[in-house]
Amino acid sequence: VNDAPRDPAGRGLDYRELIEREARHWGAAQHDPGNPQLWDDPRLFELALARPYRHLLDRARARGGPVLELGSGDGDLACDLGALGLEVTGIDLSPERVARASERARAGGLEARVRFEAGDLNRMALPPAAFSVVVAHDALHHILELDALLDRVRGALVPDGRLLVSDFVGAGVVEKLACAAATAVLPTARPYTAKWRLRGRLAALFATERAKRAALDRGDAGALHDESPFEGISQESIERRIAARFEIVERFTFCPFWYNVVPKLRLPRSWKAGILAAARRVDEPLHRRGWTRGAYVFVEARRG
């Protein structure tokens, strides 16, 4: 995979400065004890996220490699795919994450099949017709130039190849308000004084993709997350952009936004798991009828 830089996007804010900030954020981002996430606790992960994750693994295995992973982070998915016997190339913006992922592959004895490289997916060229499957897990909502990337992904897939995406597609204003209020009021892992200091982040939490893109064009950084400027830059349009280029074979949503509040509560771990299990029992039948929505989507798309 070659890096073919082109001119910055010509926006009001300096692209290079923003993308360097994004890379620094992800390079440093490890487990934050003040902000526990569903994926930090195996029991919560199992309840909220494991089924779609396993479905993605199954679908990739069914197609076979070689696989390209976009935004491969610390290498969890690529190594899980490698352990299934698939040949995987993972690309991530952060050289620190690429180093951690490569170490993980080495530790798991997977280095012959699973390799990682650093690159900016907004810009880098992808080799033509080189992959049977392209996977992206929680990564596309960070991509500013998603249309251009999806065009290159299409070109990188063999005919009948699959794009498998599991991504955060955001929440409505009411859900965000309820979650922000619950997190502010209830005792959580973060002390109240620290939560108060985070009030400046509310603008970024409530900004839609359209508002974030407009802010970028105006050169106004206020609507952007200060450490991860491209957080949520493509979340609401991911499915539409995929559907414009690929045939959608399967799609479903999962994990309501407010599930993300549960890990943060200052409660014993078993209580959190109990709350999530009860919530899921209530939510699943409602979700099947389309009465509740998930904040995440799984999409399998076919290159015609």
Footprint on this chain of ligand SAM (rule: CB under 6 A):
22, 26, 71-73, 76, 91-94, 97, 120-122, 137-139, 142-143, 230
The least CB distance from residue 84 to ligand SAM, in Å, is: 17
Query: What DSSP line would sit under 143-166, residue for residue?
Result: -TTHHHHHHHHHHHEEEEEEEEEE
Nearer to ligand SAM, 241 or 267 (CB): 241
Nearer to ligand SAM, 11 or 267 (CB): 11
Sort 112 into a burial class: Cβ within 10 Å, 0-12 / 13-18 / 19+: exposed
Q: What are phi and psi of 303, to 5 degrees?
A: -85, 115
Contacts of 122 by beta carbon, 8 Å cutoff, 6+ apart: 9, 19, 143, 144, 145, 148, 149
Nearer to ligand SAM, 41 or 120 (CB): 120
Nearer to ligand SAM, 28 or 278 (CB): 28
Contacts of 287 by beta carbon, 8 Å cutoff, 6+ apart: 253, 254, 256, 293, 294
The tokens of 231 are what? 């957080």
Which residue number has the CB closest to ligand SAM? 73
CB 224 within 8 A of CB 14: no
Q: What span, in angstroms and rounded, lies between the C-alpha atoms of 110 and 30?
A: 23
The least CB distance from residue 27 to ligand SAM, in Å, is: 8
The least CB distance from residue 85 to ligand SAM, in Å, is: 20
Nearer to ligand SAM, 125 or 267 (CB): 125
The least CB distance from residue 295 to ligand SAM, in Å, is: 13
Task: Compute the Cα dihedral for 38, 42, 47, 48 and give only its sign.
Answer: positive
Nearer to ligand SAM, 72 or 253 (CB): 72
The least CB distance from residue 271 to ligand SAM, in Å, is: 26
Nearer to ligand SAM, 34 or 191 (CB): 34
Query: What DSSP line would sit under 93-131, residue for residue?
Result: S-HHHHHHHHHHHHHTT-TTTEEEEE--TTT----TT-E
Q: What span, in angstroms and rounded, lies between the C-alpha atoms of 258 and 292?
A: 11
Nearer to ligand SAM, 32 or 160 (CB): 32
Q: What span, in angstroms and rounded, lies between the C-alpha atoms of 143 and 122?
A: 6
The least CB distance from residue 78 to ligand SAM, in Å, is: 9
Q: What span, in angstroms and rounded, lies between the C-alpha atoms of 140 and 164?
A: 11
The least CB distance from residue 219 to ligand SAM, in Å, is: 20
The least CB distance from residue 290 to ligand SAM, in Å, is: 27
At 165, the amino acid letter reads V
